[in-house]
Chain A
């Protein structure tokens, strides 16, 4: 998953490498580094924003390793919603409380419905919706899709999943 980290580094040589070493050791791939020299802290440290692609399970270990080597980790957060998948729903989508369906996905905290395209041919006839879900990582996307399938089973809505094994 994509992950952004803001650390505060002393303005002297060798600081950045100390930060990069544990990232590299834990298999992270650095996507970008931005030195925010315009936001120097009162203690004269420079905030540095590092974007990395890393296994989400390794994040706590990475933060601990950085702290252990004396680096101030100011904040870190996942870049939200990096993977999406579109699924087709067929059935009484509106009458079975569409907002409840969406809320239950959104309230997971790791996935959101980001697009919904509904076609309603006639009153009381089954409607069709293309629902697009975004999540913070592949595993979370898989969980969100499973949740959607459970909700749709309750509501007797047919779920047509995409063929691709890898959600991307």
Chain B
């Protein structure tokens, strides 16, 4: 019996809980029996014997009841796997960083969807997992449902990864592809994206390239073996791009997309000219990654970079990687 604690019970945490219930019979065949023994968020928690679907209902209706706080659960409760889905803070990594560290120190496996802790302390966390003979998996942190970490580590095992270029922020890609089509100013398309809930009320995390840069730091560490920090990324956002820029680019057969790139020349997130027929000239909120390898040549992967079920897909795939 795998005992699971879910810390962070927002969209992602609930999404995981739903999939764990929905696919129970199927998952049991692959990883054996499992049970969620704790759910917690910043305000409350449930531990022990409770119905997971009911927990989701309670959370939505009135919030989790006050109880043992999240850190106490991670420190003292009996579980085998921590699924950490708290809110991202790329400056401190908290609160996720402390939860993950504590769980790893206790020798518990951790699956996280939270970029913050990895951006702040990638090598420290990997080292900690090794020392304590447990695993830290984080497929959901980069590109949502799009397979990246396991694609490279499993399917492309044996290859040296020479460079990685990709679209790691769906919001920016949506804005740029709409600007390309509609020839409307950035502010107008941004407002439209905010209305559609594709962009946040404070869009800076996305449009200034911060989110893409965080994912790039994780990719550079995990796949290229570069000991990179957030400060190492040269970042240019998309605010200054004009509709006329698309006119001029398209006359020559190019469009513009925000590209995150890691390779021998360092780490960079910036708008780039992309030939219209290039695999990264994507429309909408899609994410994509072009991986240059020594044996397999170029590999391109495209998928949904965000969303409740998409993120749950990545977390469940980590779960099967761990126990399957």
Contacts and interface: CB of A to CB of B under 8 A. Distances in A.
Interface stretch (B3-11, B53-61, B113-121, B272-280): B272-280
Given A90-B240, A121-B242, A126-B240, A162 B248 contact: no
A88 B242 contact: no
B254 interface: yes
A162 B236 contact: no
A160 B242 contact: no
A160 B271 CA distance: 6
A158 B245 CA distance: 11
Given A127-B244, A130-B248, 5 more contacts: A90-B241, A119-B244, A125-B242, A160-B241, A163-B280
A117 B248 CA distance: 8
A60 B278 CA distance: 40
A129 B248 contact: yes
Interface in B120-155: none
Interface in B167-223: none
A161 interface: yes
Interface string B247-291: 111011010100100010000001111110010100000000000
Contacts of A119: 244, 247-248
B275 A130 contact: no
Interface string A90-132: 1100000000000000000000000001010100011111100
Interface SS majority for chain A: strand
A134 interface: no
Contacts of A91: 240
Interface in A119-168: 119, 121, 125-130, 158, 160-163, 165
28 contacts: A86-B252, A86-B254, A88-B245, A88-B249, A88-B256, A91-B240, A117-B251, A117-B252, A119-B248, A121-B244, A125-B242, A126-B240, A128-B248, A130-B249, A158-B236, A158-B271, A160-B245, A160-B249, A160-B270, A160-B272, A161-B270, A161-B272, A162-B272, A162-B273, A163-B272, A163-B278, A163-B280, A165-B163
Nearest 9 Cβ contacts at the A-B interface: A162-B273, A128-B244, A158-B240, A128-B245, A119-B244, A128-B248, A163-B272, A160-B271, A130-B248
Contacts of B278: 163
Interface string A20-50: 0000000000000000000000000000000
Contacts of B252: 86, 117, 130
Nearest to A91: B240
Interface residues of A, number: 20
A61 B73 CA distance: 71
A128 B241 CA distance: 9
A16 interface: no
Interface string B228-243: 0000000010001110
B165 interface: yes
Nearest to A115: B252
B132 to A, nearest CB: 40
A128 B270 contact: no
A160 B256 contact: yes
